[in-house]
Structure 1
């Protein structure tokens, strides 16, 4: 939402916003993964043998339907990214930007098909020729498979075209084609030219991504640790989505042939195997970057840290912070959302967060070394059940509770020692902070459960906000004057943390209810500015 005149964004801000746009297709991907996981596991021969009642035709029809619906997101993932990026980045006329994203992606692949046809490579059904030129069916078009990376590049180009031309004024004779109507027109022309260039330049991009994947794989068992630790270290800056997308959806996360089709990226490989009836079991090289690596820290470590913070709080304050810690643990274990817990110690003890990042990465390595094969994205108890337990002992799901228990004990011991030894002001250690938490919890208003008017006032009021948006757990804002932002007042109204990126941009960590808080704040700002 643009509350005032739009301002130019820095490269740092651009990558943050780009990462945020990934969340729309990734959220659908996560849901579709659960649908596909339940449907495929409950219709498998092994599960039906174990539970014969599940073999009833009606139940099997339901499971098959779930599998078909769940496979949708993985079949059309690149085009979803190409639509979501201009949709998320555009400041105005977002619907036009999304429409142009679909148009541009389709035209780009049609143009690539034209080039391949003119060169005599197509039409052909020769598998060797198709593989040599990396030709796949994309939206029913034989084209060079640029995957998610190509879709991201195309989406950024289309967004730039949208920002430049969505309010263009043409001569009267051509006025019908002006304004927002011109965006898909210019997109068709530009992306048609981009499609002609792709067969010439894409091998260079593919070599770069393959080299990155080789570097990660050459690290052996420490490759997953580098990934897991890097993701946690990038999280406070909102840049983790770039690294995650690179591993999940490009050659950097591996390449494998599944059901006769070459697929790239750890998550893409896992989902392809999940959807392939001839594949039994999952690739360890893919799942080592997925949910299983998060489970030691998410299901064991962070709950252990929460218990340590509770026990280290002043006895008279423990009841005041209990709700805060319990809600954080639930968000972490059930939803895979860790920031409500992580931001309780990130700012008061950065070294503890560094230890947490290293232990998270070590969890990835341990799961890989033990041969656990549990995929998907969230690392929560849902993934543990759906992609671990329901797929039988072959996933080695029974090792997860053991490792999680070790991580619980380790986190508890480390956090308790550090908090007491260095007098770290985690929740409940400071009398005033505990009082503020209790007051804020008692004074919640609105459907979000937060005192949104107070949060808006702490941000300097509606007149101080230039742009307002959100990601999974944070408000992302641009403000006129950072000096008008009262960080302590934000924390007193249950903001978990405040990240000031520069003199005009900040992020306010709210937690899972951030979308409701943002919507209430936007409505309140509109009322004030009306």
Structure 2
């Protein structure tokens, strides 16, 4: 019954959902990056020379352990993606989907290994031959290095097999292998064939990615600006993760030899250099697409925009929006989550958001031109300290506060002028909306999220109106039967930052950093109604 009620997703929705699945490995990647950054920096010769107290056997063992544990995510990144994609996309039996993702990834590489062996290319230890055929060890299997792109393709195939066969009914004699148990079986067969095809077609995929990388890199110092601006422009539609993954994990973000291994993708190169004991400093060609580019806008620009919105609010309403703006600034500068601030002006002033996107992209270019080399993913204070300050003056971290201060002033002046000149209804400027804001803190708050989840469910048209419910970092992602039953004004009165209707069935509700708790509470309420 549930399957028949599920709306068929569009290509647009598919790419949104695919981008959402990237967040599980990327979140772990960010944490492991911090572990690796702290461990490698505090165990480096430069830091121990500067701070001799750190050069003790116990502390060095701890720092080395942190670096080793932190390197996990980067060593096994492709298999993590191949597990996370079917896990995130599957509607039912998610555990089976994830298990099948692992099976599919291993079988695919075993089949590639079989093909290489049958062709006489393997076994070999000749570095030149291995490099010519792009062969490296994957989970102990010598196979063509398809990287993240290969893992994404494999994950999508496994998901499609799961959706088609997870409820299959077989004849009685074979019934034991039916249903969810059939998914890893069919995955083994299909991915075994896919592995035989990969050596024949992978050069075409590699050429396409290399072409994209060449296009971006041929733009010179404007390449980072194209990337930074594009990422911000795609964010309202939830598609930014696709572009980000291409640059961070494929040849589009560059290729470099690090510690004797060819590494592709801006973030992968940075992390490989971070964990390489022979390395001194980080490649500017990689870090120009990473955290440093976000820092002017995240640490300076958006806080400046928040101050402008505060000063432009009516004096009697400033105390009402102070908490909203402060929490948004903290989420931005400490957590690297910008949507709570961006959605305050995205819908009321799209031109301001376009200016913000261009200034964010310009920040990427300025950091690259200045030669700053701070990596990782989030562009927040944590990245600034761990991957900038702790790695010494060679990262040129001292330029970040200077540029951030310039961006702070620029954003403040631009936003204040635009809000006052064009009477943009940012928080605190509309008398009626502000009086409504007073009711934004509901009388009945239930659960750990701090939100009135029953009222939110009612504003979404009730449990019967929701056909699928999920979330990303800050948003609820829903499919509904009848969009007319969704009360956007009520959702905003219940402290939703924004409501985005993508089509007649797809909806996104921007909650903020507590979205996971809200989603869990809504799911519990929906399950209780079904029961």
Q: What TM-score range do you get, normalising by the shorter chain?
A: over 0.9
Greater alpha carbon shift after TM alignment, 468-477 vs 166-175: 166-175
Q: Deviations over 1:468-526 (max 9, x none)?
A: 11000000001111111111111111111111000011100000100001011111122
Conserved 8 A contact 1:321-1:438: no
Q: Equivalent residue of 1:150, what SS?
A: helix
Report the Cα distance in structure 2 between the residues aligned to 1:255 and 1:437, rounded to whole angstroms: 51
Q: Indicate the residue corresponding to 2:279 in structure 1.
A: 279
Output the aligned Cα RMSD.
1.0
Q: Equivalent residue of 1:142, what SS?
A: strand
Indicate yes or no: 2:498 matched with 1:497: yes
Shift in Å, 1:458: 1.0
Conserved 8 A contact 2:18-2:89: yes
Shift in Å, 1:8: 1.1
Report the Cα distance in structure 2 between the residues aligned to 1:80 and 1:445, rounded to whole angstroms: 35
Cα gap change, 1:133/1:209 in structure 2, threshold over 3 Å: closer, same or farther?
A: same
Q: Indicate the residue corresponding to 1:377 in structure 2.
A: 377
Conserved 8 A contact 2:249-2:265: yes
Indicate yes or no: 2:530 matched with 1:529: yes
Report the Cα distance in structure 2 between the residues aligned to 1:473 and 1:504, rounded to whole angstroms: 20
Report the Cα distance in structure 1 between the residues aligned to 2:442 and 2:409, rounded to whole angstroms: 33
Q: Indicate the residue corresponding to 1:484 in structure 2.
A: 485
Q: Indicate the residue corresponding to 2:260 in structure 1.
A: 260
Cα gap change, 1:349/1:3 in structure 2, threshold over 3 Å: closer, same or farther?
A: farther
Report the Cα distance in structure 2 between the residues aligned to 1:527 and 1:424, rounded to whole angstroms: 43
Q: Indicate the residue corresponding to 1:246 in structure 2.
A: 246
Conserved 8 A contact 2:478-2:506: yes
Indicate yes or no: 2:200 matched with 1:200: yes
Q: Indicate the residue corresponding to 1:423 in structure 2.
A: 423
Conserved 8 A contact 1:460-1:486: yes
Report the Cα distance in structure 1 between the residues aligned to 2:442 and 2:61, rounded to whole angstroms: 48
Shift in Å, 1:448: 0.6
Q: Indicate the residue corresponding to 1:457 in structure 2.
A: 458
Conserved 8 A contact 1:470-1:515: yes
Report the Cα distance in structure 2 between the residues aligned to 1:273 and 1:32, rounded to whole angstroms: 14
Q: Equivalent residue of 2:200, what SS?
A: helix
**Aligned length in residues:** 529
Shift in Å, 1:442: 5.7
Q: Indicate the residue corresponding to 1:447 in structure 2.
A: 448
Q: Indicate the residue corresponding to 1:507 in structure 2.
A: 508
Report the Cα distance in structure 2 between the residues aligned to 1:144 and 1:429, rounded to whole angstroms: 58
Conserved 8 A contact 2:305-2:408: yes
Q: Indicate the residue corresponding to 1:288 in structure 2.
A: 288
Shift in Å, 1:3: 10
Report the Cα distance in structure 2 between the residues aligned to 1:268 and 1:321, rounded to whole angstroms: 40
Alignment of 1:84-483 (within 5 A): 84-441=84-441, 443=443, 444-483=445-484
Report the Cα distance in structure 2 between the residues aligned to 1:343 and 1:361, rounded to whole angstroms: 18
Runs of 4+ in 1 over 6 A off after TM superposition: none
Q: Equivalent residue of 1:441, what SS?
A: coil
Report the Cα distance in structure 2 between the residues aligned to 1:293 and 1:112, rounded to whole angstroms: 38
Q: Scaled by the length of structure 2, what TM-score is found?
A: 0.99
Q: Equivalent residue of 2:449, what SS?
A: coil
Q: Equivalent residue of 2:136, what SS?
A: strand
Conserved 8 A contact 1:89-1:159: yes
Report the Cα distance in structure 2 between the residues aligned to 1:4 and 1:314, rounded to whole angstroms: 51
Q: Equivalent residue of 2:525, what SS?
A: helix
Report the Cα distance in structure 2 between the residues aligned to 1:180 and 1:4, rounded to whole angstroms: 18
Q: Indicate the residue corresponding to 2:48 in structure 1.
A: 48
Report the Cα distance in structure 2 between the residues aligned to 1:435 and 1:445, rounded to whole angstroms: 23
Cα gap change, 1:442/1:482 in structure 2, threshold over 3 Å: closer, same or farther?
A: closer
Q: Scaled by the length of structure 1, what TM-score is found?
A: 0.99
Conserved 8 A contact 2:442-2:452: no
Conserved 8 A contact 2:465-2:480: yes
